[in-house]
């Protein structure tokens, strides 16, 4: 019997940040314990692994967990292969991606605990030596807030920060600065699902507000980014992207996004086109080749190796968003990171709009060496991840 042999897998329903039920898993080994919970998205890609009801996922996940008893938790690939075998589908639609990812992440956590190492070290070994740049969501609309911007997220990235800690506090200062700018303009704003301000203003004004907040509040170079979430703006009947009373066909959308990038000197633009349009993604990426902008695919790739390979072959995007629950396992997330990195693409570890206080993605980001992490700016479920990376960085400095 080894310290990392799995003795028990248990699941339960817990609340996410929207007050919905999600799945939490506990994994006990001979000498270790791990816990993790699954997030959920509001803006979801068509090709993601399938989330089922939390109640059903708990029941079916515990049945699948029985097959893991006696397995070595330190052998993550074997654990995740067993989960896939127990599910028997291509998309985890039987046991649910929410159950699968919770079990998979909790297993990794239990192995690290049994071995007496931090999770990022267990996953990345001695080469886990750097922390990512945090993308902070400061203004939001789209599927994350009613009566707000059409573009889903207006982001900031403190590219001039010397440490992750400095970057996190810069993002927080800009978030507060956005509220000050809105107040000065007489604009009231609540908050969306991810804690970003959700004012009833149009996209151009939102960009102005964020740029002004950066000028006021950021003490280091800080660039602006966007998550367009274009699949949510696409209207099949109109054959166009719909922004309020304005429609743009595909070429107009490419032109529009390019103009936003160049006029705003944007560092990052996520899902600027709908999830199946690899060709338009490739055209935009080529047109922005003379910039340092990351054209990132989320719904385009959904953390799926085959879709990433297809995109690479066409030159679509130059970075990949990594969401473990989109693929259902830690191994799947790692393979997506490796595939992207081997192709020269940047990687961005990401939360979801419906989150929990689980901080596993902080360790995955450091362990897998993603260049950026996207996990909001404020809110307990968001700061849990940010604070964990701060702790990891401090440990690295010792």
350 annotated as ligand-binding: yes
Output the six-digit token pair for 302: 């959904």
Q: How far apart are CA 154 and CA 260, in angstroms?
A: 12
323 annotated as ligand-binding: yes
The CA radius of gyration of the chain, in Å to the nearest whole number, is 20
319 annotated as ligand-binding: no
374 annotated as ligand-binding: yes
Task: Specify whether the CB–CB gap between 333 and 80 falls below 8 A.
Answer: no
Output the six-digit token pair for 50: 């399938």
The answer to whether residue 338 is catalytic is no
5 annotated as ligand-binding: no
Angle (CA) 188-261-295 rounded to 5° is: 105
Judged on CB neighbours under 10 Å (0-12, 13-18, 19+), 393 is: middle
Active-site hit among 48, 86, 194, 258: 194
The answer to whether residue 221 is catalytic is no
DSSP 137: E
Pairing of strands 153-157, 223-227: antiparallel
351 annotated as ligand-binding: yes
Residue 366 φ/ψ, nearest 5 degrees: -70, -45
175 annotated as ligand-binding: no
Active-site hit among 24, 86, 323, 355: 323
Helices (H), 53-163: 54-66, 76-87, 97-115, 119-124
Judged on CB neighbours under 10 Å (0-12, 13-18, 19+), 284 is: buried
227 annotated as ligand-binding: yes
Report the 10 Å Cβ neighbour count for 3. 16
152 annotated as ligand-binding: yes
Task: Specify whether the CB–CB gap between 358 and 332 falls below 8 A.
Answer: no
Listing DSSP states for 2-34 in one string gives -TTBEEEEEEEEEE-TTS-EEEEEEEEESS-EE
Task: Specify whether the CB–CB gap between 172 and 217 falls below 8 A.
Answer: no
353 annotated as ligand-binding: yes
150 annotated as ligand-binding: no
Q: How far apart are CA 54 and CA 249, in angstroms?
A: 39
Binding site, annotated residues for Mg(2+): 227, 270, 298
Binding site, annotated residues for substrate: 144, 153, 270, 298, 350-353, 374
Q: Active-site residues: which are they?
A: 194, 323
Binding site, annotated residues for (2R)-2-phosphoglycerate: 152, 323, 352-353, 374
Binding site, annotated residues: 144, 152-153, 227, 270, 298, 323, 350-353, 374
């Amino acid at each position: 019997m080894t310290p990392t042999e799995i003795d028990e897998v248990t699941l339960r329903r817990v609340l996410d940040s929207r007050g919905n039920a999600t799945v939490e898993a506990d994994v006990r080994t001979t000498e270790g314990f791990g816990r993790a919970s699954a997030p959920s998205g509001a803006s979801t890609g068509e090709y993601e692994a399938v989330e089922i009801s939390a109640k059903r996922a708990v029941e079916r996940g515990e049945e699948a967990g029985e097959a893991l008893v006696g397995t070595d938790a330190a052998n993550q690939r074997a654990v995740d292969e067993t989960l896939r075998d127990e599910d028997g589908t291509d998309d985890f639609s039987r046991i649910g991606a929410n159950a699968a990812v919770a079990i998979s992440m909790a297993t990794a956590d239990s192995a690290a605990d049994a071995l007496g190492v931090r999770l990022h070290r267990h996953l990345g070994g001695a080469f886990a030596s750097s922390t990512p740049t945090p993308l902070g969501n400061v203004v939001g609309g789209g599927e994350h807030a009613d009566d707000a911007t059409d573009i889903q997220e207006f982001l900031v990235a403190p590219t001039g920060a010397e440490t992750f800690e400095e970057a996190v506090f810069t993002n927080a200062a800009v978030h507060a600065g956005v509220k000050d700018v809105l107040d000065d303009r007489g604009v009231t704003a609540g908050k969306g699902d991810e804690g970003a301000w959700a004012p009833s203003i149009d996209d151009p004004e939102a960009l102005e507000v964020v740029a002004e907040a950066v000028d006021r509040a950021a003490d280091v170079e800080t660039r602006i980014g966007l998550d367009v979430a274009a699949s949510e703006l696409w209207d099949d009947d109109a054959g166009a992207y719909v922004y309020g009373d304005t429609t743009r066909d595909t070429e107009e959308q490419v032109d529009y996004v390019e103009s936003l990038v160049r006029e705003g000197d944007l560092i990052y633009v996520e899902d600027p086109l709908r999830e199946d349009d690899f060709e338009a993604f490739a055209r935009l990426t080529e047109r922005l080749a003379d910039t340092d902008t990351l054209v990132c695919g989320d719904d385009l790739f959904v953390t799926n190796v085959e879709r990433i390979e297809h995109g690479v072959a066409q030159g679509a995007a130059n970075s990949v968003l990594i969401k473990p629950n989109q693929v259902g396992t830690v191994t799947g997330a790692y393979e997506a990171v490796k595939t992207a990195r081997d192709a020269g693409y940047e990687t961005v570890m990401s939360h979801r709009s419906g989150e929990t206080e689980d901080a596993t993605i902080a360790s995955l980001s450091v362990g897998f060496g993603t260049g950026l992490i996207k996990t909001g700016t404020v809110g307990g479920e968001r700061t849990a991840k940010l604070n964990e990376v701060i702790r990891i960085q401090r440990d690295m400095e010792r």
